[in-house]
Structure formats: C-alpha cells, structure tokens
Structure 1
Amino acid sequence: MHPTTPRIAIIGAGPGGLTCARVLQRSGVPVTVFAHESSVAVDPQGGTLELQMTTGRTALRAAGLYEEFTALARPAGQEVRLLDHTATVLLQDAPAPGGPDRTEVDRAGLRRLLLASLTAGTVHWDRYLRTLHPLGDGRHKAEFDDGHTETFDLVIGADGAWSRVRPMLTDDTPHYSGVTFVETGISDADSRHPDLARLAGDGSVLALSAGKGLIARRHGHGRLLVYAAFRGSQDWALEAGVTMADTEAVRAVLLDGFAGWDDRLLALLRDNDGGFVNRPLFALPVPHPWPHTPGLTLLGDAAHLMTPFAGGGAGLAMLDGCELARALAEAGDPDAAVRAYESAMLRRATQAAEHAARALAQAFAPDVPDGALRLLPARRP
C-alpha cells in the first residue's frame, strides 16, 4: 500500500463490512470497524443466507475461512415449485444431478465466524455514525452520536440500505418498490405441520396470483420461512388500522387479503409461530453510480440496494468487501485502488440489480401466474 499506511474505517458490521476487515487484516492492513449494535451479543436481522460459489464463497476463500464455513453450512433445498391460488402446481424445477450446489448458512453463525476471525478490538460497538466532515486531501472526520470523533484517510460505507455514508457521495435514496413482504415462520414443520412441509417440498414453493403471493421456503432446523407478498401501500397496516404487534389483527387482515385462496395455502398464515414482521421492499436506482470522491466509498446494500426476490445480496456484499480489501492491499495508490474497485463493482451490481428488478416485476405482473412461468427455467409437471 501507500508508504504511509492510511487509516481506514468501515462503517457497519454486516457480512460485507466484516469480510472487508478480515481480508484487510489478513493482508497486514490495519482497519477499524464501527457497529451501531450495542454489543456482539445482538443477533443480526434475518435468518438463512444462501451463498453462491461466485460471490460469498469466493470471498470466504479469500478470507481464509472456507473450511470453517463448510462446518457451519448445510445444503440448501433446491426444488422450486410454482402454484396458482388454487394450489395447482404449474411448474416444478428440480436441479439436474451434478449441477451447481446451493449452500446456506445461518446469518448469526456467519457473523460469529467473521467476528472471531478479526483481531481483538477491531469492532467498536454502539457507535452510530452521525456525519462525516471533509477535511481535504480525502481525509474525513467521523462524528458519532455519542460525541466521539476520529479522522480517517478512507471511510468505507458498509452500513446498509439507509447508509449514513452514502449522502456524502450521492443524493440518491432507496425507493419503495411497490411490493411488501410480511414475514413469519413455522417451526418443526415436518412433525407439527406435515401437510405444509409437503407443500414446501425440498426447497421453496411460490403461490402467485393477481399481484399477490404466498411463499414458503425451507429454513434451517426444520423451520419454514413464510412470506405473504403483495403490491400495495407500504403503510398497509396503518391504513387497515392495525399494528404489527397485534398478531391476530394482522393475521385477520392478511387472510382477508387472500380470501378465495386454497385453504392449504391459507394455512401458512393461520398456523405460523409467533408474530409477523413487515418488510416493504426498497431499492436504489439501477444503475447506481456516484462521482468518485477521494477518501470515501460504498459496498453492499449501501452501494447497490436491490429487492431480495432473486437473492444473493449478502454474497454480493461479501464479494465487494473482499475485492475492495484486495485492491487496497495490492495497490501502491489507495485512491486508484478504490477507483478500480468502484468500476468493477458497479458493472457487477448493475447486472444483479437488473435481474432482481425483472424477477420482482414478473412475479407480481398483471398476468400472474402465467407471466411468472418465465421466472424459472423448468419443466411443467
């Protein structure tokens, strides 16, 4: 790197930011990570991550953590079925023998693995970035909500959809996609709800009709992750006069919205464990470039937030972090390294975001479910 090693800060302790820190440290480059979570004990949001060979698993190999990852990971269910609202199977996709494998890992387990790989004291907890003050020559003073300030030569925004670093580079903000997912789940489905377990099969089932969908996928430890998805206002619960904390009221609104659907599908909403989590889907413009600004850059959702319908966001963030770290470690000029990273990352992210946008549009198009048959390169049953 530069004869005088720059001070590097990573804002955010998600998979992308932690991967970046690990690869930097493995290359002998010091780095500090600032996490808004109060402590290491706070579990991250979300459940299972599917990591593809070309993104997340490539990054884990570069981080020297692949063997440890394989001990945590498990094969992902690979069967995908498309149904209509009558529960009629329209399309069934099962992978051919010898095809690419799909591997999933619990988000919390992956986080623990990445954190344990870092030098003690790398992550500073309970530090929420308030703002950045440009000081010239690419240097920025980071000011946190607790009043703490530090100056860095490079600040990497790995702080997700509502990044505090992004406004220093662009005025773009995430926009609501028009589709909301309401998440719930069913534990120990094979023994407690075998009919629903059979419905999900060895992977995922998508029931789609008229701009709505009920989706169930296999999760770790025998759990089904369930989503009620629909086009509509992101304030649907407020407009219906319910709060997400009132599980029975939310259930009633959702069941009313899916009135007329087959009872086997509605059981995904009736037999869930616990409550419901509202997840309106947001995305950044595609493509999402920004003027190169010395001393600042972005990775993961901060750089290319896309709807998760096509999956892969965590893996892309990890690959971003890996490639940025390697570029910084190998280059004599850190600013040139960031420029090269941003150029390659933007091309890759644009392709992925375009695919995610198309998948969401097709899944909730006016001609669903017929139009959704284009989603899966599979054979009809």
Structure 2
Amino acid sequence: MKKNKTFAIIGGGPGGLTLARLLQLKGVDVKVYERDFNQEVRVQGATLDLHQESGLKALCAAGLMDEFYANFRPGAGKLRVVDKDAIIKMDWDEEEGQEENRPEIDRGPLRNILLNSLAPGTVVWDSQYLSMVPYGNQWKISFKNGSSATADIVIAVDGANSRVRPLITAITPVYSGVTIVEGNVYHADKNAARLQKLLGGGKIFALGEGKSLILSAKGDGSISFYTGCKVEESWLQDSGVDFSDKSAVFDWFKTEFGSWNEIWQELFQGDEFFFVPRPQYHFPTDQQWTSLPNLTMIGDAAHRMPPYTGEGVNIAMLDALELSECLTNETFPTIAEAIAYFEKQMLSRASASTQSALASTEMLHSDDGLERLIQLFDDFSEPVKKDFAEPLKK
C-alpha cells in the first residue's frame, strides 16, 4: 500500500512526530508540516506523564526509550492536594517502581527526542495549514506563507481546533462547562519562591469553591499552571479580559480567586508572562463518520477532551502507533480499508477516555471536589499517602 505513496502529516506535536518516526521506520515517504517558525520556538505547557500502555508503548516501538530515559524527570510525578488556602491535605508519593509506570518528561525535551529521530528535512517549518483540495487522486495543501504541497495520504494532527477535521466530518464539539486559563511563571525560584517550595519539583492540585488551580514544576525552572472555572461558554468574549495584558489577567484572577490565599498571586510575578484562555470542549462520545480513502486524523483533532485525566498526549501517541501499523500492514488490501479499520478502533477507545475525562472535570469543579479527589486517591493502595492539616509557613 505504501509503495510510491507520499504521506503528509499536518501538525508537529508529539502525536504527529511519533507517527512520522514510526512511518519512516517502515520506509514510508513522509513530511510533517508544522506552523512553528523553527525548532527553537519555546514549548509551553505542563510536564507529561507517559503511560506504559500508550505513550511509552509508542516510544518503545519507535526505538527511543534510551533517549527518553536520558531526558525524563525522576520525582516529577509527586503530587500534593491542597485547599484554596494552600493548606496541604494530602501528599502522593510514588513507591519504588511506580514512577516507572508513568514517568514524567517536559514537552520540550520530548519534542526534541522525536525531532532528532527523523530524517533531515522531514519537518517543514513555518507551514501553517490554510486549506486543502482534491488534486486528482492526491490532496493539494496550501499554507499561510504562500507555499503548497501535494500528498497521496494526509493525516491531520493539528490539535483541538483542527482546520482539517471539517473535511472528514461535520460533527462539532460540545462545551464542557469549564474554561481554563493557562499560564507560565518563568524563573520561579525568584518570582514564585513559596510556590516553588510547595511544589517540591512535582505537581499541585488546589481545589475550592468549584474552582481548580493545577501547578506543575518544569525542568527549566519555570512553573506552568492552569486555572479552571465553571463559566458560560461565551465567557471568553463577554469577560473583556485582554490576555496579552498581564495586569488585566491579574485583575481578573484577584477577583475570580479573591477568597484564595494570596500566595497564589505569585503566579503573576516577573516580567515574562504567557497566558492563553482555553474553553474546554469535547466531541460526542458516540461520534462516527464515514471513513475517507486517503485522509484521516489522530489526537485532539479526532477526539478532543478536557485534560484532567492526563490521557491526551498518550492517546495521541497510541493513535500514531496503531495508525502506522495499519497503514503498513499488508493484510489490508487498500489504504482506505486500513484507515477505516483504524478509525473504528480509535473511536471506541476515545469514547471511553472522553467519558472518564468528563467525569474528572465534573469532580474537580464540584463543591466537594477536594474531598472527592482525596477519596479517589484513598481508593488506591500502592502509592504512599500522607494526610496533612498544617498551614503554609510564609
């Protein structure tokens, strides 16, 4: 099926790069079209915990486990659950061996591992997708910079707001009821010293009043964070907050989280800042579509969901593994049949993951979310848990 065929992957995130690596190992002619200007663009977002049955399984198939373990962050999976006053309610410490089941790695190092595994010239940078039209038996892809490319098979890995997806299905996402504001604190030792100490190199889940605040320490000395609030779908437009203006975002935070301990205001210290509002959508758990013969999608483009289970990147990488196996498996007479089989399995997996993500979203933003989260951890017996009721020392 793959002989004399060209493959185009739209999107150079973990899912797209994993797919490219796996296809190249099978001798496939593949290009990745990525909107970032070059490899040096700063990668935002929290650390990623890769799971044995998905993300790590894909990396193993890609032959990149040595590189992964040379770059992962031991101890980054430690988790503290605190209330809105930063009083520690529970510590979650991983036992020996537990950490290896879901080791953590920063997004930047993971991206570099995958990029460095590809043949030179595989990634075509500064190629933001604009449109795509049939071109004989191929697709002609146009990019914002004025360039274009053709390919026999296209795989969309262009994220939750995929612009390729409408060519596959008209199914639209559903608002979850929660909107996140993502941010980053650079040079946290200086700008957020108390929060950095409270993190201890791991993660914090702070819950209260139906809101969430999730922090993650990163290997570069920064802290990534996500606020979560139950607001109307139109909040982003109605709020009038200018997310390119730190003082405007800070004013919103001081109002929305006004009853929370002032320690959380350290998130807005320092001159560098990064804020992105993210209304959380999901696709229907029963979504189906008629497969196309030479176009498919994986990751958030196919099955976006709230991030509260940590499955997003793992599912995308598992999608990449399963799709690569289908596309290079000679038991399928045609590419069309390979894609149809893959999509059927993918949608079944995604349905279960979406239901789990929605349940977690509801739990974390309920009035008793703190108690329910602690009870959830209490239901597990392997990790070591410690209960605390001591105020944060300033």
Could you tell me the TM-score, scaled by structure 2's length? Answer: 0.85
Q: 1:203 to 1:116 in 2, by over 3 A?
A: closer
Provide the residue aligned with 2:194 in structure 1.
195
The answer for the alignment partner of 2:124 in structure 1 is 124
Distance 1:53 1:107, change over 3 A: same
Distance change (3 Å), C-alpha of 1:174 and 1:68? same
Aligned to 1:307: 306
CA distance 1:45–1:259, shift in 2 (3 Å): closer
Deviation at 1:363, TM superposition (A): 0.4
What amino acid is the match of 1:132?
A: M
Q: For residues 228-377 of structure 1, what are the structure 2 equivalents within 5 Å?
A: 228-233=227-232, 236=235, 239-264=238-263, 266-269=264-267, 271=269, 274-280=272-278, 281-331=280-330, 332-333=332-333, 334-376=335-377, 377=379
The answer to whether the 8 A contact 1:22-1:118 is kept is yes
Q: Secondary structure at 1:348's aligned position in 2?
A: helix
User: Which deviates more from structure 2 when the two are superposed, residues 24-33 or residues 188-197?
Assistant: 188-197
Matched with 1:164 is 163
C-alpha displacement at 1:190, in angstroms? 5.6
- For residue 107 of structure 2, what is the aligned residue in structure 1? 107
- 1:204 to 1:116, Cα distance in 2 relative to 1, 3 A: closer
C-alpha displacement of 1:292: 1.1
Give, as a single letter, the amino acid of the residue that structure 2 aligns with 1:213: S
Shift of 1:28: 1.1
SS in structure 1 of the partner of residue 216 of structure 2: strand
2:293 touches 2:337 (CA, 8 Å); kept in 1? Answer: no
1:137-216 equivalences in 2 (<5 Å) = 139-146=138-145, 148-187=147-186, 189=188, 193-201=192-200, 203-216=202-215
1: CA distance, partners of 2:163 / 2:236: 28
Structure 2: where are the runs of 5+ without partners? 388-394
Say whether 1:134 aligns with 2:134.
yes
Separation in structure 1 between the aligned mates of residue 44 and residue 185 of structure 2, nearest angstrom: 17
Partner residue, 1:18: 17
The separation in 1 between residues aligned to 2:60 and 2:80, in whole angstroms, is 32
Note the C-alpha offset of 1:241.
Answer: 4.1
* Inter-CA distance 375–277: structure 2 relative to 1 (3 Å threshold): farther
Matched position secondary structure for 2:273: strand
SS, match of residue 229 in structure 1 = strand
Counting aligned pairs with the same residue, the percent is 37
Kept in 2, the 8 Å contact 1:47–1:108? The answer is no
State the distance in 2 between where 1:222 and 1:146 align: 34
- The separation in 1 between residues aligned to 2:233 and 2:51, in whole angstroms, is 31
Distance 1:380 1:133, change over 3 A: same
User: What SS is found at the alignment partner of 1:254?
Assistant: helix
1:272, distance to aligned residue in structure 2 (A): 6.0
CA deviation vs aligned residue, 1:131-169 (integer Å, no higher than 9, x gap): 332357x64333444554444332111111122221111
Within 2, Cα distance between the matches of 1:118 and 1:275? Answer: 32
Equivalent position amino acid for 1:337 in 2? A
**2:390 maps to which residue?**
none
- Superposition CA RMSD, Å: 2.7
Shift of 1:300: 0.8
Give the number of aligned pairs: 378
Q: Partner of 1:60: helix, strand, or coil?
A: helix
Q: Distance in 2 between matches of 1:301 and 1:30?
A: 24
Shift of 1:346: 1.7
In structure 2, how many angstroms separate the alpha carbons of the residues matched to 1:343 and 1:48? 30
Mapped to 1, the partners of 2:205 and 2:114 lie a distance apart of 33
- Structure-2 separation of matches of 1:337 and 1:317: 18
How far did residue 57 of structure 1 move?
1.5
